[in-house]
Amino acid sequence: MSIDYFGHSSRAPADAQKRIVHIRATHPEWFDTILLLYDAKGPGRFDDETAREFGVEGLQSRFMLSVNDKERFSDCLREALEYVYEVFGTDSLVITWGLDKIHPPLAHHPGVEVP
């Protein structure tokens, strides 16, 4: 059984992708082995409705994080997902476990500037 998390963001796909590249480069020990962080894409047919249910208005992009190493993911999961919130900013991102439950941030993050 797979364990997937989804990022629902009000950031444009190009901006979201730039942040994903930054996240992967900054923490390859998390996002290239234990968790797979997929590229950002625009919303699909029903994604906007789903995102609204989680409190995301103006959905512009989404991405998936999939647990790749089920033996080690619990060691870093909370910190890794918090880092994604830190880079995107909590006002522009909601991460959900599957499409069922919000995985809330531990703190408010304004987002970071990425080159």
pLDDT in tens, 22-44: 999 999 999 988 999 999 999 88
4's tokens: 């997937």
* pLDDT interval class at 56 (50, 70, 90): confident
Domain holding 56, by residue range, is 4-102
Give the CATH number for residue 24: 3.30.70.2920
Give domain status of residue 110, yes or no.
no
- Count of the separate structural domains present in the chain: 1
CB atoms within 10 A of CB 3: 14
Give domain status of residue 63, yes or no.
yes
Give domain status of residue 86, yes or no.
yes
Helix residue ranges per DSSP H, 1-115: 13-26, 28-29, 47-53, 73-88
User: Look-up: residue for tokens 């190493």?
Assistant: 69
Q: DSSP characters for 53-75? A: HTT--S--EEEEEEE--TTTHHH
Give domain status of residue 46, yes or no.
yes
Q: Give the integer Cα–Cα distance in Å for 2 and 11.
A: 27
Q: Name the average pLDDT for the chain.
A: 92
Question: Which helix (H) or strand (E) covers residue 97, if one does?
Answer: strand 93-97
Give domain status of residue 98, yes or no.
yes
Q: Quick one: pLDDT at residue 71?
A: 87
Give domain status of residue 109, yes or no.
no
Q: Give the integer Cα–Cα distance in Å for 58 and 69.
A: 33
Give domain status of residue 112, yes or no.
no
DSSP 8-state secondary structure symbol assigned to residue 92: S
Give domain status of residue 113, yes or no.
no
Q: Quick one: pLDDT at residue 1?
A: 56
Task: Specify the pTM.
Answer: 0.92
